[in-house]
């Protein structure tokens, strides 16, 4: 992958990763910690869910992982947070495709609350709710409204500005963010349905 293409891709994915970092280090700190002893689902890492085979299915061509950009994997007592990304092996950046999955799995009621809160913030596109973030939102164009999507009964919406699906499962047990570049919305939704069925 060319250096310029990698720089642009990293910049695109960085915005999404900010959401994960903020959710991990800020949101949980604003909520009271309570245990969740009735967890019906188990934690799965993003690359266990979004496999190479699924990426190739949505691309319609060979997929690769960039070993120079490792996937994100952290956890605390409330949440497990992981990411997984694949790209097409195309030297023409305009035609390059990418898909990524960011997964937050709640291990406590606090984790579920923070997942639900982050999902709602993304849905409203009201990033001023994130304390301490200075991302110059006053200079950003007016965002397009999100489109609510039905993905196997889970709370879901599609953000056309970010080419991104947000999915909240079981009242915040899982919060998934699926992003695609040069992937049409219908293909991203089909991928999301396959991913949700694996959980």
The first and second tokens of residue 160, run together, are 């056309």
Is this structure's pTM higher than 0.75?
Answer: yes
Asked whether residue 162 carries a pLDDT value surpassing 50, the answer given is yes
Q: What is the DSSP letter of 99?
A: E
CATH number at residue 167: 3.40.1000
Q: How far is the C-alpha of 19 from the C-alpha of 16, rounded, in Å?
A: 5
pLDDT at 127: 59
Least confident stretch, 22-26, 60-64, 95-99, 180-184: 22-26
Q: How far is the C-alpha of 192 from the C-alpha of 34, rounded, in Å?
A: 30
pLDDT at 14: 46
Farthest CA pair distance, the chain: 50
* Structural domain that includes position 182: 3-197
CA distances from 49 to 7, 103, 121 (A): 26, 9, 24
pLDDT at 143: 76
CA 33 to chain centre: 24
Domain count within the chain:
1
Closest C-alpha among 24, 78, 82 to residue 48: 82
- DSSP H helices in the chain: 3-22, 46-49, 52-59, 109-124, 185-197
């Amino acid at each position: 992958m060319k250096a310029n293409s990698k720089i642009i891709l990293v910049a695109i994915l960085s915005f999404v990763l900010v959401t994960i970092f903020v959710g991990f280090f800020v949101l949980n700190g604003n909520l009271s910690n309570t245990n969740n002893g009735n967890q019906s689902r188990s934690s799965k890492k993003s690359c266990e869910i979004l496999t190479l085979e699924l990426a190739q299915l949505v691309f319609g061509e060979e997929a690769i992982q960039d070993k120079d950009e490792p996937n994100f994997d952290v956890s605390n007592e409330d949440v497990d947070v992981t990411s997984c990304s694949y790209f097409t092996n195309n030297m023409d950046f305009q035609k390059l495709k990418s898909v990524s999955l960011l997964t937050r799995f709640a291990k406590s009621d606090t984790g579920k609350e923070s997942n639900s809160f982050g999902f709602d913030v993304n849905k409203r596109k009201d990033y001023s709710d994130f304390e301490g973030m200075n991302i110059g939102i006053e200079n950003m164009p007016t965002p397009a409204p999100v489109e609510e999507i039905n993905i196997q009964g889970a709370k879901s919406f599609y953000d056309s500005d970010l080419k991104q699906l947000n999915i909240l499962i079981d009242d915040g047990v899982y919060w998934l963010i699926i992003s695609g570049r040069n992937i049409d919305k219908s293909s991203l939704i089909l991928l999301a349905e396959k991913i949700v069925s694996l959980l």
